[in-house]
Amino acid sequence: MNKHWVRICVAVVAMSSLAGCSGTVSNTTEAVSPLNSAVLAATASDQLVQTATWPGVVYAAYQTDKADYAGSDLSADEFTIGNQDDVSNFAFLRLSLGGDFMANELQDARLHLKVVSGSVPSSINLTMIKAPWVPTYMYQDEAKQLVADNGTITVPVTQEADDWISIPLTDQVKSWLAGEIANSGFQLTSDANGTFAVATGNDDPADTPYVSAKGAIGNRATNYGKFAYTEALGPDDVESANCLAYALRHNTPIYVEDMGSSYEELEAAYIEGGLPAQVEKTAQRVEGYVNSHKAELQLSKFRRLEAFDSPIDPTTEYRMALRGGREPFRELPDYHFWAQLDDGRWAQKFPWDDSEIIVGTGAGLSPDDFIWNGGRLWGYDRTTNRYTSDVIYWAVTKDATEFTD
């Protein structure tokens, strides 16, 4: 991974009418994904101590005297936590997490918030949320039903420099990374001792909430594939790689039409044999495309595997995974690809987003056990299990040191 990343933050935006990996992107609002900020340092024990910054938060803020208040305006510059004029204000937050660490490597994680007004208490109440939620469409009564039944914990608030505060989240982030609970975020509440407003980052991206994380990475086995993680950026002035191109370590997008297929063909397969037939047809079209474009892709071999842990030659090969699903907005067939890294983790890319390591993946863990959703951007089927078929795996022999042009 790059050692010097610039942290960039963006306001959360709603997305509409986005096609999945099987087609081109249409009618999107411009969006940029947050990047990790990482620093590596060697220690005497031959471990790597890594600190990472994961900016971005999805929020919903509520006032208890407004029973029908439906979440937050995503363009709002701030939200309030605490009691104001005898009215309780509470917030739901869901955090962006990076794939820098596996759960057993994480040492510390903290949420950082920029305070813009009010009185900050010495502690704040935190309750986990047990199910996905959509801020602009969820009423307060619905929100209250999503708060976990196992109680609220009180966590200390630390005053940081320049009006920032932080709260500890190590145990929660470890649970998310380990897949013990889904990252649906948490509720923050305060009492009469402190009411304060927090910046969302919409007014100034530098004020975007973020998680700081620290972990100690030992000597990970690197015999799971030929390549380590390489970042591929989202759209700018050039067309950006999509999931299939990224999985083949190629920069130019490869769409369903490029494979000699169409929505109609995949839909016909679905009608005839359900999702398994749709995915098998997709796999056949991928294999046909690869075999006829080996020189362009700089691939010499492309073979199916029986399982996620079927043997490969990690000096020349890496694993690639396909899973199919249904594009929810137009009820069309869709598919998505992951690529395995040399340390056992998996990575993905959507055409409208930067590439990312899939949080929680690691050596010996099957991609079949993870939720495959619509990526990091809010508003695009973000929290649902979008791709649900059985997974098809390949071993890819890439005859290049890195991405082709």
Q: What is the CA radius of gyration of the chain?
A: 22
Per-residue model confidence as pLDDT tens for the chain (405 residues) = 322 222 222 222 222 234 566 654 332 222 222 223 333 333 334 668 889 898 888 888 888 777 777 677 777 899 889 876 677 888 989 887 887 888 888 999 999 999 999 989 999 999 999 887 877 777 888 888 888 887 889 999 999 999 999 999 999 999 888 877 778 889 998 876 688 999 999 889 899 999 999 999 877 777 899 999 998 888 765 667 899 999 999 989 999 999 999 999 999 999 999 999 999 999 999 999 999 999 999 999 999 999 999 999 999 999 999 999 988 767 889 999 999 999 999 999 988 888 988 887 888 888 988 878 766 554 444 456 789 999 999 999 999 988 876
pLDDT score at 192 = 60
User: Which burial class, exposed, middle or buried, applies to 1 when counting CB atoms under 10 A from its CB (0-12, 13-18, 19+)?
Assistant: middle
Q: Name residue 356's beta-bridge partners.
A: 348
pLDDT score at 215 = 93
∠ Cα 56 58 62 (to 5°):
140
Amino acid letter, 395: A
User: Which burial class, exposed, middle or buried, applies to 236 when counting CB atoms under 10 A from its CB (0-12, 13-18, 19+)?
Assistant: exposed
pLDDT score at 210 = 93
Distance CA 103, CA 11 (A): 28
pLDDT score at 164 = 97
Going by C-alpha positions, the residue among 275, 280, 272 that lies closest to residue 387 is: 275
